[in-house]
Structure 1
Amino acid sequence: MTCRFMLKLSFLARAVTLSVVFFAVSLTSVSYAQSRDSFSAEELRAAYLISVVQYVTWPDEANRSELTVGILGHPSVYAEMISAPIAPVRGMTLNIRELTRASQLTGIDMVYVGPSASNQLNAVFNTARLRPLLVISEHTQVREDMMVNLIPASQNRLAFQVNMDRINDTGLRASGDLLMLRGNELEAAVNLRRAQSALRDMTTERRQLRTELEQVNQQNAQLLNRIDVLEQTVRERDSVLRAQQGTLEDKQQVMESQQSVLQELLEELDEQRQILFERETQLQDIQRALSESEQALDEQQQQLRQKEFQLRQKQVESDDLAERIATNRTVLAAQQQQLRDQRTALAEQLALLESRERTIDRQRLYLWAIGVVFLFVLLFLLTTVILFMKSRKQANQLRLTLDDLHEAQDKLIESEKMAALGNLVAGVAHEVNTPLGVAITGTSMVHDRLNVLNEQLEQGSLTRDNLQGFISRATESLSLTQKNLTRVGALITNFKQIAVDQMVAEQREIDLKVYLEEVMSTLSIELRRAGIQYEIDIPEDLRMTTIPGAMAQIITNLVTNAIRHAFVQPGGQLQLTAESVAGNQVKLMFSDNGQGMTPDILNRIFDPFFTTKRNEGGTGLGMPIVYNLVRQKLKGDISVHSTPEQGTTFTLTLPRRL
């Protein structure tokens, strides 16, 4: 009896739940119908964001299957956007993503910036300058970077401002219909989203009702199986009663007990049949309610199709209106141009009349003044002839002076070349003497050992140990001699190449690192004498077509200037670095860690004859020659940066191909 009572309660609870669900569905439909004419601010913004995508084209849509819309600073708009399904746009699905900061714009195609995130507009606009990103803002202050700016007009209205030029500058293409987006279309879009949301909810409820119906059918099947089991039990008990016919008393007792059990079973069977009848009645009610909900769903779908058809008609009307407006604008522009042309012609005629009147007045004055002007002209001509003769004489003198200056400048440059070449010869001579002395010493030692070996051979005292000792020492001496003579040959080759480059101003292609190593090797004796170390940090295979002689003279003058002026005491560090820069150019930097220069000296470093070592043999021509070689010979540019006690850096920007 307890089981039957629990089954009844469970069935009644499910029936009540289904009734409440159907009542809630009916209330949802009624509330939707009653609230169609009132729109929230979030619904209007969501409808506008979805409508804007239809009028803007991204440059790579042919290779895309989705667009991503970001919501920054307005969670309620994000919740409204994801509350209803969004139809694809031009075959691309729309993904909605909520953002909390401007650094999350990676992969975003359109972003809406709410009023609470207006402080992040600058970062958003900076991102829009780098890639196609449509920015929709909601800010009262209109800016140059603005693309689409929303302005809340009232509770149910939304105005907007569109900057077509700014949208096109980002690589996007906006249709003219974007400017014709009206309130009716937004209301239709809001109603469409509401209908889609209601349709989705009804579809979900319909699936739930079908699930409940299947569960009820299963429970009914279980009850039928229970009734079949009870009937089978009754039949078995009845057969047992017939089989048990013994004594009358036993039969009577068994009969009474079996009858009581049978009576209970019959009562339980009647109760189960009554429950089954009630559930069949409730099942019919549920099926009837389900058919009514399906009919209501079909009506909602029909209304949705009608609204979509009306929306398409409004879009067609908007397109026609846009075409008429564009035609009217063209006609109006032509008429305005004709009016401007007519005004221009009238203004020209008035100006011509005024000019003729002024010309007549001037001619009258000219007739009176022509005699006086003629006398002044004669005097002016005489004065001009005299001044012309004097200026011509002065020009000839200036030309001769300029030629003398150019000749003196060439001589100074040649003298500096010869001085640098002299330093180069002295350094190479010192460098060559050392390996030559080692080679001569090794050769002399081999010669002496060979004489000793001959004496031992003549005396017959030559042993295997003596011969092997001579061979090992001679091998070491010859190897040392070969290495030093090879070094001498390399030094002489570098010297010849550098000397030829300094004397011949011809262009050729050089490996910058290899060539600068050769130049610095010829200057190594002076650097070692001053206790200065140098480092060359230049990429491999950095080739230039330039004038090597001018390059060698520039490096020589820079090294000499650093030795004389940068380091007060022996010791220091020089560094040469180079890299390729934009414009097919090479940036060469010559740095030292010396005492640096004050601003006064730095401003006059390229002035001719300016030197801080006047009493110590300085001429003040080294750096002006470097400046002229870089600017005139190598067609480049040179700059210098120096700080007292922190060293000096010369930066040369040279063309990679002269």
Structure 2
Amino acid sequence: MKYLFLSTLCIVVMLSSFNNNAEETLSEQTLKSAFIGQFSHFINWPNSPKQLNVAYMGNDDQYWQALQNMASSGASKYALTLSRISNAEHVLLTDAHILVIGQSHNRYISGINALLGDRATLLVSEYVTDNKLIGINFYKTNKQTLSFNLNRYNLLYQGLSISEDIVLLGGSEIDVAHMVKEMTSKLSDSAKQIDKLNSHIRTQEISITEKQKQIEKKQQSINLKNQELELLSEKIKQTQFDHEKQLDDLASQLAQKEHLLEDKQNKVSDTQNELDKMNEQSRKLTALIDKNQQHIEQQTQKLSRLSNGLKEKEQALQVKEKQVEQTTNVLFISLGALIAFAVLAANLWYLSKRKQALNKLLEAHNEELENINQQLITTQKQLVESEKMASLAGLVTGVAHEVNTPLGAAITAVTHLSAISTEIYSDFKDKKLSSQKFERILEEQLQATDIIFKNLCRSADLIKSFKQVSADQVSEAAREFEIGDYLHEIITSLKHELKRAQVHVSIRCDFQKRIYTYPGVFSQVLTNLVINSLIHGFKSQQAGHIQLEVKQENGHLFIHYQDNGCGIDKQNLDKIFDPFFTTNRNSGSTGLGLSICYNLITQKMQGNITCLESENGAHFELSFPFTIQT
């Protein structure tokens, strides 16, 4: 394999230097000879000869010299012997394994093919336009680069087997095979990436579940704290209300006491005034004591009574002082209650700050959950693209298998037609052609032509259906189309899978108007439903039936999809469109097929898809408007 890669690399370097008009050290004949030497590495002859006979028929001496140089350089894995012939009659005498035809002798290609028949001879030509006559043919591309194309069926007819590694040399038909091979590699890489993403998603789901449990515990703790805060707040409010009520009562009592005290003070002041007046009178009476002793005694009695009244007033003042002292004590108690209230308010402030911190922590967790959700959405988009590419790859494989059958029949008919044409030409040339034989051969030619025409038409229909469906799935552009014809094209593209599973599809569509929506999205949804039926619905059946019915109502299309498979359990109907839900995970199912269908129908086509209860198989209803709003 290492030698094969190095030799191919050398040819590519030589070819690029030739095509880029660098220093012209290699001629076109030298490059063709190098290609011919490399062909022996990828084509196997019957009986595995140790030596290959190479014959050249042409007028190009440089080409002949280049072939001799290639044979002597050991570029082929076989020992090569060269011979040069001048006309077609010498072809059968050379017993050549490789016959190289120069451009000057292209007019003999048809006769040489007839002479070779099914002999194991590799026919190498150049610039031949009729691909039915060639084995391997050199040509120049639009960029003036040297390339080649090959007719696999002629090579197989001649008993030559071809290695798939011939794609390393290039070629027009080979490019398609290389593209399919590269797509297969990418799909393999996508499958590995899907497995990694599934593992990552499961890890994220476990992490999310644990974080949700932690958040629930913290939420419960916060709820308990909130309840305690509410109870404490109610107690504080009740205590504050009681204290305010007591303060109001005390303030009212104090106001009354102050009013009484003020009255008493006014009375004391009046009494003092009276005492002052009495003292003045006493002084006057002292002066008149000698004159009116009786009057003094009377005044003395009055003074005694007034003194008793003063004592009573003093006792009353002492009682008032005790009451004021009690009021002061009550005020101190109220002040202590206010201090306790302030402490409670500080606790409430602390709890409020704690609650704010917990809220910030909760917001951080919510933001983290949102980021994880965004990652899940991105992962889902990648899985959708991988699912789309897998669906397209399956479509390519199925159509290639279906196209191979009619093309093989057409090639067989062409080969038979060529053989009987050669036979009739030989008999005509030898003047041995009878009318009966001529009539028989004409009938066989008509039959072969009819077979070729029917099989080529069948191949064209398959390729047309595949081309339209695959182009729609790749572009995802909205366009106008007829739903009935498009349903038939989708089913035709899935014909290989349906035939292998022995499943028949019937379509009932009376709707003749054209609709404007996304045909690629619709084909992907319908393809997923059919593949689901083949994998899940008919896994234990030898044959099945799928029915599609199209109806219209109030500007919407309703498509009923129903199969007669094993059906869906009723307890799974509500979860059938959930991401990653599957009942067949052990067989490699990811559970994304119906979830992707639901998202495409609801978001892209502005419609809806529902799974209906059915006693026989699975029943889906798809609805979407005639005209999409883009």
Q: TM-score range by the shorter chain?
A: 0.3 to 0.5
> TM-score, length-normalised on structure 2?
0.43
TM-score by structure 1 length? 0.42
